[in-house]
Structure 1
Amino acid sequence: MTQGSSCAGGASVAPSPEAMPSPSGRPLRLAALAAAGIALGAAGTVVTVSIVQAEDDAGIRAFHLQEAANRQASRQGSHGTYGATGRPQPQAAAYAPARSGWQIPLLQMQPDGRIAHPPVDLNPFRQGAADAARKPARRNQHARIDAVSGATDVARTFCVRLCDGFHAPLGHLRAGSDLKAHEALCQANNPGIPVKVFRLAAGVADIGEAQSADGQRYRALPMAYSHETTRDAATCRPAIVQAGERRVSLLRDFTLRPGDSVVLDGRVQTFVGGSRWPYSPRDFRDFRSAGELSKSQRREIDERVGISRLEAQARGLRRQMLLREASLRDDSVASDADRFVLRGSLDPVRRGPVRVISLVVRD
């Protein structure tokens, strides 16, 4: 069998070397594509920079023009522009040139320099609650339910000190006949101090709207709110206790504040605060160990009351008494104890003459 017959019997023909792709042509195509991409990127960058620079130049030019107009307007009117009311109209303190074209939705700058953010509703289901919150609250709306008494439409009473305007709540006024009881409680809690009871209507939170029985409002008092700026009101010191005058226990004094010092039984006690009313003796501490007072305040209290001086005198007297008692018990120390009766009953028995008894010794 010859080669010609075998080739004639089959349809396959061996490819020529010129028809096969060259392995060195593929990197050339990749390099060409890369060069084209770089060229396109550089061209886009140049175009973008040119547009931005042109826009910046236009903005700077507009800024300078606006500044020149502002200076010209300020020269024409030295006192500024006035409206129909005769008052100077406010002018923008800063100016930002208006930009044209597309901007980021969340960053839009206005001509006056402010950034206006569009309203973004994160939860569309709360649209009704947001609209209700935007509505102005009514001034005469009912007060919320009190957690203690449950009263919603009952007026409240406040005890007001006329010397410094300090006010403290008394209770709810359910009937007009209860006003005398509230006034008596106010007087009992502030003995010797001029006070007055003010009534605050239900739903009103401003103490300035409180009204007394004679129609005077709290904000009309000469000393209204003065307790907020005056720390030591000498006019609010109570008078000296008179015979038969009734006093309220200090533990029920609702005007006490942490740091107030009170003289009790020859000692100065400082109120450190309490979480419950009426207070307890544990809410008071010696002024020398109270952290609510500074070192200078402790020194001033000590100098005014004389606690250290009285304690030093008491220690000296106690020392003299101990020395006196020791000298009476010591036989080696000459004393006049035989002339005075220092111990014994109130009616001591007098001693008689000494009898001499002779002892005879017999054999």
Structure 2
Amino acid sequence: MARITLRQLLDHAAEHGYGVPAFNINNMEQVLAIMAAAEEVDAPVILQASRGARSYAGDVMLEKMVEAAEAMHPTIPICLHQDHGNDEATCFSAIQHGFTSVMMDGSLMADAKTPASYDYNVDITRRVTAMAHQLGVSVEGELGVLGSLETGQGEAEDDHGAEGVLSHDELLTDPDQAVEFVRATKVDALTIAMGTSHGAYKFSRKPDGEILAMHVVKAINERLPGVHLVMHGSSSVPEALQERFNRFGGEMPKTWGVPVEEIQLGIRHGVRKVNIDTDCRLAMAAEIRRIASEKPGEFDPRKFLQPSMDELKKLCRERYEQFGTAGQAATIKVVSLADMAKRYRSGALDPAIAVSRAA
């Protein structure tokens, strides 16, 4: 099946009431496991690569791995997404290498560390969106800065994350400003700040409304019911995986992630894309540690990687089923980039329409 844009996939998800996990990839093993899980449950896929992943694997390798995944799984729609693009060059180069969706994260300056002004965010996101839509490519924007409501700080990952202590105003997306932002930038999906953060150490206790602001999701969805919302930093960091990791020599302090039931609540209120990376890393790392501990003489990389892929596949399958993604691939008829570009030019996909209807 042809590669799908984020906009078309999330439009389908909204129509049918489900969410789509977006899994970060860095290597062949992750791609194989994610796609095997999708094949088993007939789920569409979002594979996303950060700037760090593109530096690690190389754009050509990532592009060819996704092409191979398409050939191996011809019935599964795949969206290839640039995660946290920091400037126009990052987004444009991703499109040149087959990405059908890019995130222009203008919440931070190009250094991916310094919080940006609202005007800067609007300006750069609008420019990227205008260019991408001419090619039929989707754009995700971000309003507010990802970070912990407990500590007031962001968690750096792949050289991306706000530095210093942030105010609650910066850490929580303003619902009224979200309406203005979508109207001004014409983004296809909106990442909102609500207390989630990158990495494993999101919360020091099981999150409640004080540190995981699900009310922000609801408020934005009320104002923008036709706009697709995105939850970043949404690994659940399961206790069982933490215990397994530590049992075989790991040193992970007790931590809490975003409970699956909270994500499911978000899906009921307009969340269509859910970013998951830490859970995938943890599932693989825990299994690699087990094998290294139980079989200290083993040196064949395949004996470490195949079992770790099996664990990742299990995790991905669970998320596809929990988010309602399972069973949806066969119901999607992929639209080409050229046809998406025509739809953008005609104004049919202008999110301002959804904003106007909400108003």
TM over 0.5: no
Q: Which of the two has higher C-alpha Rg?
A: 1
Which of the five TM-score ranges fits, normalised by the shorter chain? under 0.3
